[in-house]
Amino acid sequence: MYLVRSGAIAQFEQLVLELGENPIEMIHQAGLRQAQFRDPNTYIAYPRLAELLEIAAQRCQHPLFGLMLAQRQTLHVLGDLPMLVSRAATVADALARVNDYLYLHASGVSLQLQSQGEIVRLALSMNVHSPRGIEQLMQMSVAQLAMFVSSLLNINISNIPLYLCQNKPSELESQRLTHSVRFREPFNGVVLKASQLTGRNYHDEEALNRHLQSHLQYLQSRYPDNLADQARDLIHRLLPTGECCIERVSTALGLHERTLQTRLQETGQSYRQLLQDVRQNIAQQQLSYGTQTITELALQLGYAEVAVFSRHFKTWTGFSPKQWQQQYRKGRIED
């Protein structure tokens, strides 16, 4: 089963309401629940998200609903992907790392760089199927790709045309789109000059720090007066970077390491316990639904050795990672 972060369609409910329709009815019609969208890092079935977007386009009578939604979104819609490529020196290096981390945002999607002389195609490929099609999903995803690329290059997104395989709608919305869109193209994605790939990646160390500071404001609004939940969220984000440590987490929270430990102890918790909780939750979710190998999962969770991860997982659950996966898929472990 291919999964995607529910945060991928941020602003969905607001847009549908503005267009005079009921987003909750659409969510239920697609086999989803509104509660699944409260936390942007909740994973949902990719085909159901594709179906939801197609339902919305039909009910709202907007054939470019996916594009309309994407142009309302910010880079936060991609979760931690921008942060995870922040250490890449050039745009080419950053794009080369995208597929290494895409699974954290969505599985079943990949990015291919296709060189054609002085230009390079950035083509999105999706192994996602829905009875209603995936045109809206592809519109949104290509627009999100353009947003990501524009941030790497530090240029206006309007300077990056979108290429779509789908046919041009007979009547386009009166609403102005910020994107230049080309239909009936041989691929879905965007095009860059080859020379742009050698340019500086603007998601550098300072961008990483700004990302964490911006995220702190979100944490304080989402988890007011709950330091443990704020720390858990940051641990979840930092684990895949290989830089998850109490020093980084405490700095992101604007606290000294000892202060963080003391305040957690006052509530009967510790950084070590929070780290274990996050690792266990991610591991169980990925083993139950994800497509990662156990080795990939161990690395994502910050383990240098698979054997150490397996030993810890068995301590937490009573099962080895492989046993958990087998038992869950046989329905012997409840979600």
What are 100-123's pLDDT values in tens digits? 888 778 888 999 999 999 999 999
Burial class (CB in 10 A: 0-12, 13-18, 19+), 330: exposed
Q: What is the 8-class DSSP label of residue 279?
A: H
**3-state SS, one letter per residue, for 221-256:** HHCCCCHHHHHHHHHHHHHHHCCCCHHHHHHHCCCC
Share of the chain above pLDDT 70, in %: 90
Nearest 5°: CA angle at 143, between 141 and 144? 65
Q: What is the pLDDT of residues 207-241, one digit of tens each?
A: 666 666 666 666 777 777 789 988 998 898 888 77
Q: What is the pLDDT of residues 292-311, one digit of tens each?
A: 789 989 988 989 899 999 99
Helix (H) / strand (E) element for 4: namely strand 3-5
Share of the chain above pLDDT 90, in %: 56
Please provide the average confidence, as pLDDT, over all residues in the chain: 88
Distances (CA, A) of 212 to 80, 195, 274: 10, 30, 19
Domains delineated in the chain:
3-196 (3.90.1520), 223-331 (1.10.10.60)
Task: Provide the token pair at 282.
Answer: 């991610």
User: What global pTM score does this model have?
Assistant: 0.73
In the block, tokens 């929270």 appear at: 253
Q: What is the Cα–Cα distance from 162 to 234, expressed in whole angstroms?
A: 33
Asked whether residue 174 carries a pLDDT value surpassing 50, the answer given is no
Residue ranges of the alpha helices (H) in 30-163?
46-60, 65-70, 81-84, 91-101, 135-153
Asked whether residue 187 carries a pLDDT value surpassing 90, the answer given is yes
Q: Which of 123, 135, 145, 129 is nearest to 8 (CA)?
A: 145
